[in-house]
């Protein structure tokens, strides 16, 4: 199963991701974690990302896509994964679509969870569903 969580910052994507990944036994792949792991491990992509981050610039899509591609090919993600924070742009979404197509997994069912509004308060219980809706996609 491939799951993509999209939504505004603070909408609850991370909370939902942790719950879903645990209960569906798929790895939770967050963009922030991708950056931290690649930088800590000193990968070429991590070094490139760190240069942009140190300069206060956004990391280019090509670097983020490369990190996501590498992570999705790891053994624990063969049967599925949950993406949190990727894709963030049309270019990244098109790249993800192509990655899945090239990998032969595009035709499998995927879930897209759209967190459409911010939570009114961080005081809501963890795992709350304020402002979330779910939709499915076959692509």
Q: Convert the pLDDT of each residue in 13-42 to its tens digit.
A: 888 889 999 999 999 999 999 999 999 999
Predicted pLDDT of residue 42: 97
| 8 Å CB contact between 17 and 82 | yes
Contact 112, 135 (CB under 8 A): yes
- Stated length of the chain: 139
CB atoms within 10 A of CB 42: 9
* 119 Cβ neighbours under 8 A, 6+ residues apart: 10, 11, 12, 128, 130, 131
Q: Across residues 74-93, what is the average pLDDT?
A: 90
């Amino acid at each position: 199963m491939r799951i993509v969580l999209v939504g505004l910052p603070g909408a609850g994507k991370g909370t939902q991701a942790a719950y879903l990944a645990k209960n569906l036994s798929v790895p939770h792949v967050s963009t922030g974690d991708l950056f931290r792991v690649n930088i800590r491990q000193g990968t070429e992509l991590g070094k490139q990302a760190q240069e942009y981050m140190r300069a206060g610039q956004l990391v280019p899509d090509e670097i983020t896509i490369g990190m996501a591609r590498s992570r999705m090919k790891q053994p624990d993600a063969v049967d599925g994964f949950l993406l949190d924070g990727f894709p963030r742009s049309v270019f990244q979404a098109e790249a993800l679509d192509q990655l899945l197509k090239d990998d032969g997994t595009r035709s499998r069912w995927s879930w897209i969870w759209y967190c459409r509004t911010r939570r009114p308060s961080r005081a809501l219980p963890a795992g709350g569903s304020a402002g979330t809706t779910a939709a499915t996609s076959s692509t």
